[in-house]
Structure 1
Amino acid sequence: MHLAFPLFVLFILGNGVYTHICLWAPMQRGQFDISTPGAHPCYRKIGPCGNVNSSSSSPRTSLVAGSKYKVEFQQNLNHYYTGKPGALDISFAVGLNPAEGDFHVLHSFSDYNAMNQITQTNFSVEIDLPSQTCDECVLRVRYLSNNPEEDDHGTVFHQCSDVKLTQSSSNALKPKKSEEKTEKPIVQHNEDPHDCCAPESYTNAFFHIIPAIDYHSEGLIFYDKKVQQMRVIVTVNGGRGNTTFDSTFDMWMNFTSGRQYYYNRNTGSCDLYGLDYWNDWCFGNKYNQTEDFVAADVKCTSPYGKTRNCNQWRNGEFLFETLSESACFPSSISRPSGERIDYIKGAAAPIPPSTFVPNSVCMKQTKVKHASVGWMRMHA
């Protein structure tokens, strides 16, 4: 596990089916809603486009063929699986409703371990659009979780957008070039002596900021591998309201019972969820994570650790740091956008069992808002 909740805004799930990936640039087919991570329009599992078809009159986003374009989407829940870490990708196909075999991948990157599946992580990925023009074509984003706990209609989540590729005045005068498909080199992930795991019984505080949306939160994390339980307390944007954007929350995660409770302190409401598999708080390929080691004993980037040194790992745009002089204590996780989580006051010590006991309101909750198919079979 890398973090109790990563570089995203943390929300509770909404009612009904569960959201896993949403696409807004270009806008996805059909309805769209990311106000909460449970919005019905964003759950689309059946390939190639989530069982949502297009028509000749469907809205289309007009883009310039051969140009660069930033695809913006959200991994709305995290289902990282250490047994076989997954990936996210962006692909393209020509046609109104192309078949799976018509899509070719333009960009892909590894999934990352958020541990807490109740997460929202926004991505902005620049791609090179195909140089061919088309009146009816599809740009698609997928989340390939590989998580067997999420296998109802497979383990892949889809979101498609209808687009039109036009010819600009600049490329209209240029001779057409034949499309060349280049194979991307296979990245060899190697273990490193610095790969490590946080102490089995560990607590720390954190600060999380997302400058682009003026988001900030702070809280505490309690992590106990031996009993396979976690607790997270988080105050979002001051915690003076009742919504997912400005309240204070408790989360209790018991991976033995498979239950996670999400309690809003300001409203007194509690929601029950079913959990995926437990993941250790580890860094590096030695522990089947998806980060590659970058550097040892360099100055920490955290503003709370300027005088300390860190070891660094990287997964795509995510930079992970641990304190080099301690037992793999997390220091920070950051992205080029300025979004970051900084960890402070880490301590390896036994955690009282009472820390992991949900309050009485949660213990009375029997309605499940989200659970995998396997979880429902075992706990229904």
Structure 2
Amino acid sequence: MFLNSVVVLLILLYIPCLFGHLCLWQPMQRGNFSLNPPGSHDCYRKQSPCGGFNSSTSKQRTILEADSMYTVLFQQHLNHYYPGNPGQLDISFAVGLDPPEEDFRRLMVFDDYNPMNHNTQTNFSIRIQLPSEPCEFCVLRVRYLTNNPDEEDKGTTFHQCSDIQLKSTLKKVSRPSLNQIQPIKHENDPHDCCTSPSFRTQFTHRIPDIDYISSGLIYYDKPSQQMRVTLFSMNIRYDMWMNFTSGKQYYYNDNNKTCHLFGLDYWNDWCYGNTFNQSEDFQISNTSCLSGRSRYCNQWKNGDFFFQSTTTGCYPAALYRKSNNENTIYFNPKDGPFSPDIFQPNPICLKSSIVAHEHYRAIRKNKP
């Protein structure tokens, strides 16, 4: 799922939905680096332009070739998708040891995507073309512009910077720029749809490049604004209870009987297409379903992501990526309603008092 290029610049972004953090893969990140525990404060950097960290905090300056194509690899660890105004991620560049915000120029911008599960680890592989002019001191930056009001404690954008040097190259190859800095235009389509307000579905998730596979069951209930995900991975069972009214999410590891409490973003209807602000463009109707369990599906696209829903009922059928064949297959949908017990967390979770992170909304409304 990671790379298919001659030269690779490795950047790993860690973006928990509950923190919106970004972390660059060591040793490129300015300052300290830690991906453990989830929501590491080494990744909580909102101050423009580089999260409050200057060049003196760098452990390494990476040497790259000017006017060359590179693949930027990063991970969105958890997702902040805001349906009211979907956000973006971008990659930008500036010359200088500590350039100001106005000196950064975008090399690439792409829409946030909706996985319908905040606890998501999504690896991106983004091609960029570096500037043609060499520079001894320059900065490559990745941002997550969430547009999410629940992140408004010190702004809604997260920054992470890496210090680089661009060296001139004698090898000049004429190639079209892949940088996409034009605003992305989306249009509605009559096929745009939403799922049943209450349903459950089984799923399998595969990432072929790292031989990863998981499976589980999702309960979705719009009337109560609750979801539950039961996940089986590497012989471990995980349960996630999400209550968007209280703004709380419990993450339970059945193997070691531990539970973590997080805050939640806003409720998000399970819909497809720009009619419902999903940043997904309709592609084709009545195509073969990737799952093979339903005969016909409609398909949407957002960048590298393809979404399929059943032609009848608009149930989720697949979420997949052509770049690495990663896929989530949904099958055996069943309409609710369901017993309230389904959404009742394990008693161990209810004893949790330490919140890994609370959003602005949670701080205002849920504090005693």
Both structures adopt the same fold (TM-score exceeding 0.5): yes
1:119 to partner: Cα distance = 2.4
1:349 to partner: Cα distance = 2.6
> For the Cα contact (< 8 Å) 1:323–1:331, is it kept in 2?
yes
Give the aligned partner of residue 226 of structure 1.
Answer: 223
Deviations 1:101-158 (A, max 9, x none): 0000000000112343232211110100100100000000000000011011100001
Amino acid at match of 2:327: R
Give the aligned partner of residue 332 of structure 1.
Answer: 318
Give the aligned partner of residue 248 of structure 2.
Answer: 259
Give the aligned partner of residue 63 of structure 1.
Answer: 64
> For the Cα contact (< 8 Å) 1:24–1:72, is it kept in 2?
no
Give the aligned partner of residue 233 of structure 2.
Answer: 236
> For the Cα contact (< 8 Å) 2:16–2:77, is it kept in 1?
no
Deviations 1:39-75 (A, max 9, x none): 3322211110011100398521111000000111122
Amino acid at match of 2:73: E
After TM superposition, list the pairs within 5 Å mapping 1:86-105 onto structure 2. Answer: 86-105=87-106
In 2, Cα distance between the equivalents of 1:68 and 1:58? 24
Amino acid at match of 1:352: S
After TM superposition, list the pairs within 5 Å mapping 1:18-33 onto structure 2. Answer: 18=19, 20-24=21-25, 27-33=28-34
How many corresponding residue pairs? Answer: 350
In 2, Cα distance between the equivalents of 1:295 and 1:363? 45
Give the alignment partner of residue 300 of structure 1, picking from 289, 292, 297: 289
Compared CA separation, residues 257 and 18, structure 1 to 2 (3 A): closer
Give the aligned partner of residue 148 of structure 2.
Answer: 147
In structure 1, the gaps of 5 or more residues are 1-10, 240-246
Give the aligned partner of residue 307 of structure 2.
Answer: 320
Give the aligned partner of residue 369 of structure 1.
Answer: 356
After TM superposition, list the pairs within 5 Å mapping 1:2-17 onto structure 2. Answer: none
In 2, Cα distance between the equivalents of 1:56 and 1:13? 23
> For the Cα contact (< 8 Å) 2:196–2:314, is it kept in 1?
yes
Compared CA separation, residues 218 and 98, structure 1 to 2 (3 A): same
> For the Cα contact (< 8 Å) 1:196–1:328, is it kept in 2?
yes
In 2, Cα distance between the equivalents of 1:379 and 1:309? 44
Aligned pair 1:284/2:273, yes or no?
Answer: yes
In 2, Cα distance between the equivalents of 1:216 and 1:57? 36
In 1, Cα distance between the equivalents of 2:267 and 2:220? 11
> For the Cα contact (< 8 Å) 1:12–1:37, is it kept in 2?
no
**RMSD over aligned Cα atoms:** 2.5
> TM-score w.r.t. structure 2 length?
0.89
Compared CA separation, residues 308 and 233, structure 1 to 2 (3 A): same
Deviating more after overlay: 258-267 vs 86-95: 258-267
> TM-score w.r.t. structure 1 length?
0.86
Compared CA separation, residues 166 and 319, structure 1 to 2 (3 A): same
Compared CA separation, residues 313 and 183, structure 1 to 2 (3 A): closer
1:279 to partner: Cα distance = 0.3
Give the aligned partner of residue 74 of structure 1.
Answer: 75
> For the Cα contact (< 8 Å) 2:30–2:58, is it kept in 1?
no
> For the Cα contact (< 8 Å) 1:25–1:72, is it kept in 2?
no
1:35 to partner: Cα distance = 5.0
> For the Cα contact (< 8 Å) 1:88–1:142, is it kept in 2?
yes
> For the Cα contact (< 8 Å) 1:26–1:161, is it kept in 2?
no
In 2, Cα distance between the equivalents of 1:35 and 1:317? 28
Deviations 1:324-346 (A, max 9, x none): 1x210111011121111000111
1:363 to partner: Cα distance = 1.6
Amino acid at match of 1:341: T
% identity of equivalent residues: 52
Give the aligned partner of residue 44 of structure 1.
Answer: 45
Give the aligned partner of residue 107 of structure 1.
Answer: 108
Compared CA separation, residues 27 and 57, structure 1 to 2 (3 A): closer
Give the aligned partner of residue 7 of structure 1.
Answer: none
Aligned pair 1:354/2:315, yes or no?
Answer: no
What is the SS of the residue equivalent to 2:171?
helix
Amino acid at match of 2:244: F
> For the Cα contact (< 8 Å) 2:228–2:343, is it kept in 1?
yes
In structure 2, the gaps of 5 or more residues are 1-13
Compared CA separation, residues 12 and 236, structure 1 to 2 (3 A): farther
Give the aligned partner of residue 191 of structure 1.
Answer: 188
1:12 to partner: Cα distance = 12
